[in-house]
Chains A and B, each alone.
Chain A
């Protein structure tokens, strides 16, 4: 071995690995594509589902509509409206979720996942959902596809996620046209390069430390919304996720008490599902695939107990799988 660096197998291998990595890194799942899909799906579904799940990424990642549908013997349609990014249970988002439900069916259910992230005052100030709705409408009006900005950290994370054997080979064959979000909002769980336990406390920490964050102001809009849903004939099932210790160290002193939220939601007439204590996560925060699956089964059984049995989805409903209009 000698001569130029390229005569060395070491540098040839590293260069080839770098080149291949650049191809896969640039290929799917396109983070931009994925974010657009998430946004578009949530703004384009209209009046098709019987059950809708709302909440942040703890719900959005993993909870599986099809597993819940299995528990309902395929007679009801379920959509996961969970929203990645530190999320929001504000009016605009909840109205968007309600619009997914079919007003023509007598039995509709909304499953609300409450976490310390999505009921904080910070989430109340999060207007991303409305902003994206406006952007999509404007883009559609202008005749070009909508775009969603991701910060570099999220983008890097998405591009470096392990794909598994199928993902790797699929990308090889299809140049990354994989669409990771299902028509029903299911976003498969990936393993993550980084640990989420540090990021979320930092986000909670950005709130004014002098001000109690989790108080009446954070639950009152939710209670009001549950009353409205009941008036519209929509049953509400809710669960309150406890915080892992790293997040509880920040949210606890600011007043986050899952038991208090459970009492308030129950008082508003929601069926509150006890959060199984043995669910596990893949990154410290988000449920890992087996836990997400197990929890989906549990929620499905609770929904099944609340919804009357029927043989099949009534005819004449909108096309299923949903047509999202996405390329």
Chain B
């Protein structure tokens, strides 16, 4: 079930009506069970077999937490626990990729052996809840958190439906104390939740889905149009699309969390306002990048030591990051490019030098945005060959007019496009106002007494101004 579907609207209405009724009137185990049952309905709606994988990971994670606590400090138990929760992800998501690589190597070596693909389908969101389960095992091992004692509480932690499909990746210390309390929601929480859900829907349904129609049409053409201007435009648009798609999902997830009384971790902080690649990774998919930092980069850098060790740790971390997004070489190369960019930035200090110039922060922001957008070409391309063709066209500065592409081959003429830049700026400006604690910002907020009217209009717009419905990009990871 996707947040941008009619089915979800019906589900949410029933779920929250029940939640607000039962919360505070029943004990926590029943409340956890209610959360878990609702989450299983949400998750299994389109493919019920997915719930088996989810339930298996929840049970393995719960059991391994108990075992780790029983034999504290034993690395073998931790390794077993990690293997137990990671196994389904590796098999379901990467087995066919591995087989394809083995076949390709065999073909190169002239072995003449071909292993058939297994054709397993990874359930939605498996990459997200698997990482949560791994962090739980490690955190119990390091005694940062206590293991859960109730399987329903544990299931509610790993499988609470807002974060199930596309995160943010939650950790035990963030969610378990809240589940132990489960306070009733306040009016402020509900209002903040509704605003966040609405902004998320606007980002997804109005901005990302409109852009997605156009960028997909261009990327899916048999031959990339030979116009560098068009590709620079599409590249910038895709950067906006993926941000609005993913952060839109996160906003909806966080808003739903607020409606449950849970404060889920923020996942985005205006990443395109970053003035360095390092800063970008502190603002983009924060729960994932901090997970990589804490559970892969730091341990590797500690073990390997020195400059070379740090560089190697960065590269390994970003290759893992790429592979986490998908079993394809485009993602691996995308991750490696980010690793290289980070290392080059660290050694050259280009960002500091540029920021020291007059207007340097703006210049650095633009450089970072276009760098990130360029690397996203590899991320979005159907294969590395297409990415290479696109780069060649972009940097040939070919001035072929592309009006025919706009007019005849895409839906670019849709008048709603006129709204997109304004909506994007407004949505982002809203973030700036919310995060700014200056008196000016407070004054603006205080004047918005009719904010509920704006939210109602935006909700209506999400239905009737929406673009072609497309799945959330990160749900596929």
A contact set with B: CB distance below 8 Å: 1-2, 8-10, 12-14, 16-17, 20-21, 24, 160, 162-168, 191-193, 278, 280, 282, 288-290, 293-294, 297
Contact = CB atoms under 8 A, between A and B. Distances in A.
B118 to A, nearest CB: 20
B416 interface: yes
Contacts of A160: 6, 463
Nearest to A192: B469
A168 B461 contact: yes
A290 B217 CA distance: 9
Contacts of B415: 164-166
Nearest to A8: B187
Given A10-B187, A288-B213, 19 more contacts: A1-B187, A1-B191, A8-B187, A9-B194, A10-B190, A14-B194, A14-B456, A17-B459, A20-B456, A21-B460, A24-B463, A24-B464, A163-B464, A165-B415, A168-B461, A282-B468, A288-B217, A290-B410, A294-B409
A21 B465 contact: no
Contacts of A16: 452-453, 456
B408 interface: yes
A20 B460 CA distance: 7
Nearest to B205: A162
A165 B460 contact: no
A191 B469 contact: yes
Nearest to B186: A1
B222 A191 contact: no
B463 A164 contact: no
Contact of B409 (A9, A164, A290): A290
Contacts of B194: 9-10, 13-14
Given A12-B452, A13-B452, A165-B419, A24 B411 contact: no
Interface in B418-477: 418-419, 451-453, 455-457, 459-461, 463-469
Contacts of B416: 164-165
Contacts of A278: 221-222
Given A191-B468, A290-B408, A13 B455 contact: yes
A289 B411 contact: yes
B220 A162 contact: no
Nearest to A189: B411
B190 A8 contact: yes
Interface string B1-42: 000001000000000000000000000000000000000000
A290 B467 CA distance: 15
Chain A contact surface mostly:
helix
B465 A164 contact: yes
Contacts of A290: 217, 408-411
A164 B463 CA distance: 10
Contacts of A163: 464-465
Interface of B is mostly: helix
B414 interface: yes
27 contacts: A1-B186, A1-B187, A1-B188, A1-B191, A8-B187, A13-B452, A13-B456, A16-B453, A20-B460, A21-B459, A24-B460, A160-B6, A162-B463, A162-B467, A164-B415, A165-B416, A168-B461, A168-B464, A191-B467, A280-B217, A280-B220, A282-B468, A288-B213, A288-B411, A288-B468, A290-B411, A293-B408
Nearest to B450: A9
A138 B409 CA distance: 44
Q: Which 10 A-B pairs have the closest CB atoms?
A: A1-B187, A16-B456, A13-B452, A9-B452, A17-B456, A17-B459, A191-B468, A13-B455, A10-B190, A12-B452
Interface residues of B, number: 38
A167 B463 CA distance: 12
Interface in B105-131: none
A245 to B, nearest CB: 14
Interface in B353-407: none
A290 B419 CA distance: 21
B402 to A, nearest CB: 13
A294 B408 contact: yes
Contacts of B466: 162, 191
B190 A17 contact: no
Contacts of B221: 278
Contacts of A9: 191, 194, 451-452, 455
Contacts of B463: 21, 24, 160, 162
B465 A168 contact: yes
A165 B413 CA distance: 12
Contacts of A12: 452, 456
A16 to B, nearest CB: 4
Nearest to B209: A191
Contacts of B451: 9, 13
A122 to B, nearest CB: 27
A18 B76 CA distance: 56
A297 B408 contact: yes
Contacts of B456: 12-14, 16-17, 20
Contacts of B468: 191, 282, 288
B460 to A, nearest CB: 5
B455 A17 contact: yes
A293 B469 CA distance: 21
B230 to A, nearest CB: 14
A193 B6 contact: yes
Contacts of A13: 194, 451-453, 455-456, 459
B144 to A, nearest CB: 35
Nearest to A288: B411
Nearest to B221: A278
Interface string B310-324: 000000000000000
Contacts of A288: 213, 217, 411, 468
A191 B210 CA distance: 11
Nearest to B410: A290
A167 B461 CA distance: 11
Residue among A20, A162, A282 with most chain B CB within 10 A: A162
A307 B191 CA distance: 65
A180 to B, nearest CB: 14
Given A14-B194, A280-B220, A165 B408 contact: no
Contacts of A282: 468
A17 B460 CA distance: 6
